[in-house]
Structure 1
Amino acid sequence: MQQVNTNEAPFPAGHYSQGIIHEGVVYISGQLSIDPTTRLPIKGTIEEQLMQSLNNMNAVLIAAGSSKEMVLKCTVFISDIELWPRVNTTYAKFFGTHKPARSVIPVSFLHHGLLVEVEAIAALKKN
């Protein structure tokens, strides 16, 4: 196994890696809408928060030698199921024609009172 950490995504605040590579697959830890430079939460609209979370996820994917086009599965945690249509629209804009497997799970609370968190599993690019 190999740990993946990059300054292009928020550095972990707890005892975990941004990602782990194992046997050609990268597992990305949950990404919140945290600015990687300031390490402060971005508390904008659900669209802004989701895009920052996805950009953070993408930074870890790139550091691991993968890309958003290689994502196999995403899990999206949202603080309110009523946000689902807006989440789906923003998610589709980010991924374009690529449609990884996905679960959207409503939760009662996310760290910092944020609205969304995203984790992913992706294949590595073949050399």
Structure 2
Amino acid sequence: MMQMIETDKAPKAIGPYSQAVKYESLLFVSGQIAIDPETQEFIGGSVEQQTERVMENIKAILEEAGLNFDHVIKTTIYLKNIDDFSRVNDIYGRYFKEHKPARATVEVSNLPKGALIEIEVIAGI
């Protein structure tokens, strides 16, 4: 059975999708950009500021499902500029200390709202 996961502590979906979907023993978290959940506004700023907001949004969704970053199996990071890789890694690494999920990082030509980064995750329940 599928279950939609929704929390006010993360941004509302800006399209026809869910923040996350739980299916059997997996949680699929939709790609998150730097939207402040309190204002529903894109925060902009540096890639570091955006990465921090994205990771906090993911954290809130995981927590709503009763999980944390130790449950994450795979992440995909979409970067507007691959030269930001090391700066993103520094912040990302604060959330994944001992546990290190599989990951792909790709440079893309554009992201919603002009974001510099988007991250999606798959977690095991």
The normalised TM-score by structure 1 is 0.94
How big is the shift at 1:48? Answer: 1.0
Matches within 5 A, 1:19-58: 19-58=20-59
Q: Give the fraction of aligned pairs with identical amino acids, expressed as a percent.
A: 40
How big is the shift at 1:87? Answer: 1.0
The alignment of Structure 1 onto Structure 2 pairs a total of residues equal to 124
Cα distance in 2 between the residues matched to 1:51 and 1:102:
18
Cα distance in 2 between the residues matched to 1:121 and 1:79:
21
**Which secondary structure state, in structure 1, belongs to the residue aligned with residue 41 of structure 2?**
coil
How big is the shift at 1:94? Answer: 2.1
Q: Which residue of 2 aligns with 1:66?
A: 67
Q: Which residue of 2 aligns with 1:122?
A: 123
Q: Which sections of structure 2, spanning at least 5 residues, go unmatched? A: none
Contact residue 51 and residue 94 of structure 1 kept, 8 A: no
Q: Which residue of 2 aligns with 1:80?
A: 81
**Structure 1 residues 40-62: Cα deviation after superposition (integer angstroms, max 9, x where no partner):** 11112111101110110111111
Q: Which residue of 2 aligns with 1:104?
A: 105
**Structure 1 residues 16-64: Cα deviation after superposition (integer angstroms, max 9, x where no partner):** 0000001111000000000001001111211110111011011111111
Bigger share in strand: 2
The normalised TM-score by structure 2 is 0.96
Moved more, 91-100 or 108-117: 91-100
2:115 partner amino acid: L
Moved more, 90-99 or 7-16: 90-99
Structure 1 consecutive aligned stretches of length 4 or more whose deviation exceeds 4 Å = none
What is the root-mean-square deviation in Å for CA atoms of aligned residues?
0.8
Cα distance in 1 between the residues matched to 2:122 and 2:87:
23
Cα distance in 1 between the residues matched to 2:10 and 2:86:
26
